[in-house]
Amino acid sequence: MRVVIAEDLTLLRDGLTRLLQAFGFDVVEAVDNGPALLPALLGHRPDIAIIDVRLPPTHTDEGLKAAIAARAEIPGLPVLVLSQHVEPLYARELLSDSTGGIGYLLKERISDVEQFVQAVRQVAGGGTAFDPEVVAQLLTRHEPLAALTQRELEVLRHIAEGRSNAAIAARLFITEKVVSKYINNIFSKLGMPPSEDDNRRVLAVLMFLDS
């Protein structure tokens, strides 16, 4: 699986490269600044890009902007965005084209290597992986998702964090069949017509972010 990395801190860039190589990924380019990122993404068309939000020269959000720009050129380009802090606002911007293949995690999640690599694969496969903290921040607001039961909200949260039905079932100690029942309830309560399951999952997360 071909990967492009954008991270300005040498320590983290090299660490990330080594970590991914150890898990059999092929790191085709690792850039350390914003302007070099977009050409690298468009040139390599990687299977996944792992991008730090804040990059030189302005140290604001050029990583995020480059990711969004690249996805405008290559729709559905899988992008995993890393940051020292997470903002639901950014998550919404990333998802605004309503296609999958989006991850948004705190940098410290890398320390749980297994789970991080799983998130990378999840996003590369067109799924989503949102940091529990993004989800937690959104849950402080109650109004728009009021129609959902506590249990359904919990399931939606796991979907946003990028878990499969099987993983959700294992976490909540219920069967996969019950999970899909909950998911169907969520979809119908959020007014989503039956369609291809993956896309609906993304839309549900988007609605969650947008609410």
Partner 1 sequence: MTSQAWSRGGVTAVVDSLLAVVLAMLNVPVFLLWVIGLLLSPVPVLGVELLTVTTVVVRWRADRERVLAGRVGVLIRRPYSPAPPGAENDSHRQVRWIITDPATWRDVSWLLPGALIGLVLGLIAVAIPLYGLCGVLLLPLWLSLADVWFGYGLFWPTGNTAEAWLALPQGLVILGAGLAVAPLLRTTDVLFAQLFLSPTANAELRLRVAHLTTTRADAIDAQAAELRRIERDLHDGAQARMVSVGMTIGLAERLVRQDPNAALQLLAEARASSTAALVELRQLVRGIHPPVLAERGLEGAVRALAMSLPVRTAVTSDLPGRLETPVESAVYFAVAEALANMGRHSRARAAWVTIYHDGGVLVVEIGDDGVGGADPERGTGLAGITRRLGAFDGTMALASPRGGPTVVTMEVPCVLSSPRI
What does the binding site for partner 1 look like in residue numbers (CB under 8 A)? 53-54, 58-61, 83-85, 87-90, 92, 106, 108, 111-112, 137-138, 140-144
CB 34 within 8 A of CB 7: no
Closest to partner 1 by CB, 90 vs 130, is 90
* Gap between the Cα atoms of 156 and 205, Å rounded: 7
**Tokens found for residue 51:** 């991008």
Q: How far is the CB of 82 from partner 1 (least distance, A)?
A: 13
Phi, psi of 26 (to 5 degrees): -110, 105
* Gap between the Cα atoms of 172 and 29, Å rounded: 39
Closest to partner 1 by CB, 86 vs 179, is 86
Q: How far is the CB of 92 from partner 1 (least distance, A)?
A: 8
Q: How far is the CB of 137 from partner 1 (least distance, A)?
A: 5
* Gap between the Cα atoms of 128 and 198, Å rounded: 10
Closest to partner 1 by CB, 56 vs 144, is 144
Closest to partner 1 by CB, 141 vs 181, is 141
Q: How far is the CB of 202 from partner 1 (least distance, A)?
A: 19
Neighbour count for residue 50 (Cβ, 10 Å):
28
Closest to partner 1 by CB, 84 vs 188, is 84
Q: How far is the CB of 146 from partner 1 (least distance, A)?
A: 12
Closest CA to 43 of 73, 78, 88: 73
CB 43 within 8 A of CB 34: no
How buried is residue 116: exposed, middle or buried, by Cβ count under 10 Å (0-12/13-18/19+)?
buried
